[in-house]
Each structure stands twice: as C-alpha cells, then as structure tokens.
Homo-oligomer: A and B are copies of this chain.
C-alpha cells in the first residue's frame, strides 16, 4: 500500500493546496491522487496549478476537456486515471451512450495506431 498524506498529518504548504482543491471542487476531501502526490509538495502545487490552467473552459467546454483527458488516459493504460476521469467526465455531463462511443473510438484508435506503426506508413503530403 503506497503512502497517502492525510490532511491532519500534512505540512502547511500541502494543506494550502488541499484547501484550494476542496474549495474549487466543493468536496469535503481530496482524491487519493493528491494525497499520494503530497510526498513532494512542489510537485503537488505545480500539478494543481497546471491542471487548473489546462482544464478551465475555453475554446473547448468542460465536458469535452474531461472526455479528451479520459481518452488519453485510456490510451496510456492508466487504471487510476481512467477511473478518476470517467467519474469526472460523468459529472461534467458524459452519459452512457457517449461513454460507449468514446470507448469504441479509443479501441479503434489503438488498433489502427498499431497497424500504422507496424506497417511504417509514410505520412501523406497533404496532412500538413
């Protein structure tokens, strides 16, 4: 079992980030990811700051960003990230039919990714 830093045992700079996450998300406690990352306080702060910047709605809305995050996490085979961002994408409005289609796209991409690389397909001139 890896080490998780709970709020009560956390140093002040960790508590400050935990407080910011709880306030931004309106939750009583932070996820295990943040408790685990707290072993390195500078990484904790930097990661939370980056995530805030990246996930703020802009040209893409929150649901779209969460679904892209989920697709990238599935493609990378990260079980925790897939579970975490499936939950987040659902909260942002992804329904079961959307999840099913996302799953199909990620599976299909995995197959054609391997085929394209196995065949060393040269990039078509008009892609750029």
Contact = CB atoms under 8 A, between A and B. Distances in A.
Nearest to A111: B111
A46 B50 CA distance: 7
Nearest to A82: B118
Number of copies: 6
Contacts of A103: 39-40, 43, 115, 118-119
B105 A54 contact: yes
Nearest to A31: B124
A89 to B, nearest CB: 11
Interface of A: 1-4, 31-33, 36-37, 39-43, 46-47, 50-51, 53-55, 58-60, 64-65, 67-69, 71-87, 95-124, 126-128
